[in-house]
Each structure stands twice: as structure tokens, then as C-alpha cells.
Amino acid sequence: MAQYETMEAGGVPVKAWIKGVPFEPEAQMQLGNISRLPIVHSHIAAMPDVHMGKGATVGSVIATKGAIIPAAVGVDIGCGMMAMRTSLTADDLPESLAGLRSDIEAAVPHGGVGIKGGWKDGIPNSVSNRFRSTGLDVALEKIEEKHPAISGANHVVHLGSLGSGNHFIEVCLDEDNRVWVMLHSGSRGIGNRIGTYFISEAKESLIKKGIGLPDKDLSWFEESDPLFDDYIEALLWAQDFARHNREVMMDRVLNVMRNSLPTFKIEKAAVNCHHNYVAKEHHYGADVWLTRKGAVSAREGELGIIPGSMGARSYIVRGKGNEESFCSCSHGAGRALSRTKAKKKFSLEDHRKATEGVECRKDSGVIDETPAAYKDIDAVMAAQTDLVEIVHTLKQIVCVKG
């Protein structure tokens, strides 16, 4: 039995996994706008964490034929999650976790913009060596040569840095009290530069073609457009950079733990998954460009990560390969309130109560990230039982935010 609801808005259907979770009118309007685009194939899948984004809705999966919408991918290209389980247990941790949080914050640049959010005191050799050894440097030079507007962004300066907003590093315990490390970040300043540039170019392209849209942020490149291949090249580079960024951070966090905790091993292979990205896939009889905007690939047997919030559970999941969702699931709990509304509604006392038992920031700078600003993660999980099964349930005990 289908677990989704179908919304019709004059275009392809929108199949929404929103039973028991809020589905704001603004998000419905955005999904309707996307559904009427001539390039969209079959239908749109809306995940239970769906909420309004810029142009494209966060928590949506969009299959397009012969075209890509750069703003649907957004500017945090390749944003995603990484998690690893260690052999440590809760008994191996110190009574106070404040020192562990402080050491992680010292090891991984976080918060800030530009160089303030990166390696402002010098790039470690291990980071610069990875940038070169992986070929990220040479590939970026070629992209910048064709598109000088992308030049000058922080790239290696941001490699291995967290950023701010909803990005985080967490130490968690699973159902067996095993210690996990989990983190969330993307392509940082260089991804933003690439996304912003090509979003603008796509808008100009459609204006020249005389194509009108209800929202200019839904402008697209067709495969026949001169900039299409260049966008794909830059997009895939940023997705690769984002994956390396998470790996560098994970290495640094694990090194901190090795220096301060009993000897341990990594017990499970890392889960490292994007949730803001494009992939060439085959769905409903066609080869399509599939954009997961705040959604995770959930093919049959595939592992993924669905985080909650600063004070809620997170989940390691296994995909069920549900074709109706384009083999996808939610990427988190999803915002229930905008950052502005959250700051107005919640007090520091509210935030402290909601994050009780978690070693994390308790100041006004993270009020917009307080758990109540997000949807109920348990309701979100209940709405997608036909998309994924839960493998591990994690509860954070340390949370680092920028």
C-alpha cells in the first residue's frame, strides 16, 4: 500500500511522504511550480522533511530529461553526512565531555565566513597534500580557466572545515552504547561560488530564449546549451570536494579521540552520503538527471544517514529501493520554523532544556538550530517506513556547531 499522498498542481504529480508531519503551503506552492516545468519527468517525490527552499523545495527529488536546474541543487553542492562506529563504549568516555568538545573545536575550523571559517593560521600539510594528490587542484584550475568568475574562492583553505548553520560534528551513542562519530558539511566557499555563478548564468540563458517562469530560480540548462557540460564538470568537482571535506574532518576528529580516549578501532565502514546533488540515473523508462535537494539515495540495501537535531535521535538506515521515491529518503528532520521565527519564538532557557545531557553550545548564537525549530524526527521516520529500515539509532552526547 502506497504511503505517500498525491498532489496535483497542473503538471506532473507530486508524491509526498508527509503523513503525520507538517506540509507548509509555501512548500506546496514551490513543488507545484516545479511540477509544471516542461523538463520534469514522471513525477516529483517530496520527502517527509520537506520545507520551503530557494526556488526548489528542500526535501524534494526531481527527475529532469535533458536538462538540470542549478538552483535546485543549490549553492551547498554535495552537502551531506558521514558516520563511523568505533569500538569504544560509553564506559570509555570521561565523566565530563567538555574537554572533548573543546579539542574537536580546536582541531576542525568551524563557523565564520571566508578565511575565518577555514585554516586561518596556515593549511596543514596533510590537507594541502590531499588537495594535490586527489587531483582536485588541477581539475579546479581547468574549470577556473574557462570561468574566471569562479576564481578566488576559498577551496583548500576550506578543505576540512565545518561551516555554520545546520552543519555539525557529533559524538553519539547507539542502542548498544557504542560510540559513533557523525558529521554534516558540504563544499563550503568554493561550492557556493560555483553554484551562485551557474545559477546566474542559467537565468540569463532562459531570458535570452524568452522563456518565462513563475520563479527565476527554476531556470535550467539544457544539454544542448554551451554551459551545460561546464556546469556538470564544476558540479561533479564540487561534489567530490565535499566528500573529501567530510573525510578530512572525520580523520581529524578521530585523531582527537585517539589522543584523549582509550585505544579503539573503527568497527564499520564509513557511511559517506550526499544529500544535495545530481546523479545520472534511470527511472520510469528514461535516463534522467536526478536532483536530490535535501534527500538521500536509498537504493535497496544502500546505507544512509538521517540526522535529527541538536537534542534528538539520528538514524543509520538501509534503503528499500522504493521506485516511487526515485529510491530516495529524507535527509533529516526538516525545518518546522525559519531561522528568524525560531530566534523570536524560543528562549535560551528553552534551548538549554531541549539540549539537556548534550555537551554543546547553549548560547543565543544557536537558537535558530534548537531542536524545536525542526520537525519531530520520529514522525519523519514513521512517514517513510516504506523507503528505509532503521539499522542503528544514535543519540548525540557531544555536538559541535559553527
351 is catalytic: no
Q: What value does the mean pLDDT take over residues 139-158?
A: 96
* Secondary structure (DSSP) of 53-99: -SSSPEEEEEEESSEE-HHHH-SSTT-EEEEEEEEEEGGGS-S--HH
Cell of 380: 519523519
Give the residue from 394, 185, 382, 384 showing the smallest Cα distance to 309: 394
Q: Could you give phi then psi for residue 156, rounded to 5 degrees? A: -65, -25
234: left (phi over 0), alpha (psi -120 to 50) or beta: alpha
Domains plus CATH for the chain?
5-336+374-401 (3.90.1860.10)
Q: Which tens digits make up the pLDDT trace of 55-98?
A: 789 999 999 999 999 999 999 999 999 999 999 999 999 999 99
Give the residue from 205, 247, 240, 199 showing the smallest Cα distance to 69: 199
Cell of 37: 516545468
Range with the poorest average pLDDT among 2-6, 130-134, 171-175, 182-186:
2-6
Residue 311 above 90 pLDDT? no
114: left (phi over 0), alpha (psi -120 to 50) or beta: left
Residue 28 CB: number of other CB atoms within 10 A?
A: 19
Q: What value does the mean pLDDT take over residues 337-365?
A: 93
* Secondary structure (DSSP) of 5-41: EEE-SSSS-EEE--TTS---HHHHHHHHHHHT-TTEE
The Cα 209–Cα 139 span in angstroms is 31
- Where b means 16+ CB within 10 Å and e means fewer, 271-286 reads bbbbbbbbeebebeee
> Which residue, chain included where needed, has cell 535570452?
208
Q: Which residues pair with 51 in a beta bridge?
A: 58
Q: What is the model's pTM?
A: 0.96
Q: Which of 167, 331, 351, 392 is catalytic?
A: 331
**pLDDT confidence of residue 54:** 85
Residue 268 above 90 pLDDT? no
* Secondary structure (DSSP) of 177-226: -EEEEEEEE--HHHHHHHHHHHHHHHHHHHHHHT---SSGGG--EETTST
Give the residue from 321, 330, 285, 315 showing the smallest Cα distance to 301: 321
**pLDDT confidence of residue 114:** 84
Tell me the CA distances in angstroms from 320 to 79, 145, 167, 326, one per residue in order: 23, 43, 27, 11
Residue 60 CB: number of other CB atoms within 10 A?
A: 26
Q: What value does the mean pLDDT take over residues 376-384?
A: 97
Mean pLDDT value across the chain:
96
Q: What value does the mean pLDDT take over residues 100-105?
A: 98
Strands 168-173 and 178-185: antiparallel
Q: How many CA atoms lie within 13 A of 162 on its CB side?
A: 26
Q: Which 8-state DSSP code applies to residue 150? A: G
**pLDDT confidence of residue 55:** 76
Q: What value does the mean pLDDT take over residues 329-355?
A: 94
Q: Could you give phi then psi for residue 199, rounded to 5 degrees? A: -60, -45
Q: Which 8-state DSSP code applies to residue 302? A: -
- CB 249 within 8 Å of CB 183: yes
**pLDDT class of 1 with cuts at 50, 70, 90:** low
**pLDDT confidence of residue 322:** 98
The Cα 197–Cα 33 span in angstroms is 23
Q: Which tens digits make up the pLDDT trace of 189-242?
A: 999 999 999 999 999 999 999 998 989 999 999 999 999 999 999 999 999 999
22's CB contacts (< 8 A; 6+ apart) are 336, 375
The Cα 222–Cα 70 span in angstroms is 11
